[in-house]
Structure 1
Amino acid sequence: MRLLRSTDMALRVLMRLAVAGKSTPTTREVAADMNVPYTHAAKVVAELQHRGLLETRRGRGGGLSLTEAGRDASVGAIVRDLEGEGDVADCEGTAPCPLNSDCRLRGALRRAQEAFYAALDPLTVADMVADPTGPLLLGLPSARRTS
């Protein structure tokens, strides 16, 4: 299974904000820290704000901050939510698989996908920034400027 780029970016943005403390980095700073295009980061930030995982403030002294819900959110739930309900394999796409009605592979892939999510369910965003990740994130250029 492979995560969408936007899901990967969303997790990295949340992790970066989890170590921000009282500082409020901007979307531009977070994009630079995470080495992703600003326009993509802005879309991800808007989606995370819509889901209540982070807050944004405009103007002087503005920036991004993680909400309590964002800090305590299950990584599995975030990934499920951002990835959507689709199956790993597209058995019923534009050219449906002829084995679709009696295929054992589809069920095995669905169970594997659920096992993937189940492994992420007990982990929170706060867990993801424990040592050694948190100190590494704090060493990023804008994290050093805003801390």
Structure 2
Amino acid sequence: MRIIYAGSMRLLRSTDLALRALMRLAVAGESSPTTRQVAADMDVPYTHAAKVVAELTHMGLLTARRGRGGGLALTERGRTASVGALVRAFEGEGDVVDCEGAGQAGTPCPLSSGCRLRGALRQAQEAFFAALDPLTVTDIVAAPTGPLLLGIGRAP
């Protein structure tokens, strides 16, 4: 069961990594960091970063070249991608709460036939996504964020 708490919105780790990877690549300039470098810069396990990079590549938001001179690069589609659409893709558009298995031993919630909370939470989730829809990756790396991202992972 995945619950989004109204007081403290929590994204899946893969969603967070996807957003941060795209942001990092958006300011990479001419360099093409590898998945390993991006993982190190973000201080996350390589295996997690590799899964996210594979999904972002599959979505057409970045390209990955292997071998000497290879690395990752953000595509034009990646620069203009809606942050809301990206979050939806990684989070899924399922219900905020799992009413079918909410009870003890996985039994359905006894309120499921007349619960108003489920609908209200679904509306809140959609409002969250809708607030992110107009933002693009380019928007979220504008100053002051972009210059800060350039310093991540560099030795002092």
1:102 counterpart = 2:114: yes
The equivalent of 1:39 in structure 2 is: 47
Distance in 2 separating the partners of 1:55 and 1:82? 18
Looking at secondary structure, tell me which structure has more helix per residue. Answer: 1
The equivalent of 1:134 in structure 2 is: 146
TM-score, with length taken from structure 2: 0.88
TM-score, with length taken from structure 1: 0.94
What SS does the aligned partner of 1:87 have?
A: coil
The equivalent of 1:5 in structure 2 is: 13
What residue identity is the alignment partner of 1:102? G
2:42–2:153 Cα contact (<8 Å) kept: no
Please list, as runs of the form range in 1=range in 2, the aligned pairs for 1:1-147 lying within 5 A after superposition. 1=4, 2-93=10-101, 94-141=106-153
Percent sequence identity over aligned pairs? 78
What residue identity is the alignment partner of 1:116? F
What residue identity is the alignment partner of 1:122? P
Gaps of 5+ in 2: 5-9
Gaps of 5+ in 1: none
- How many corresponding residue pairs? 143
Structure 1 residues 63-96: Cα deviation after superposition (integer angstroms, max 9, x where no partner)? 0000101110000000101111211111112321
Give the C-alpha shift of residue 141 in structure 1: 2.8
Distance in 2 separating the partners of 1:124 and 1:57? 24
The equivalent of 2:7 in structure 1 is: none
Distance in 2 separating the partners of 1:5 and 1:130? 23
RMSD over aligned Cα, in angstroms?
1.1
Segments ≥4 residues shifted beyond 3 Å: none
Distance in 1 separating the partners of 2:89 and 2:153? 30
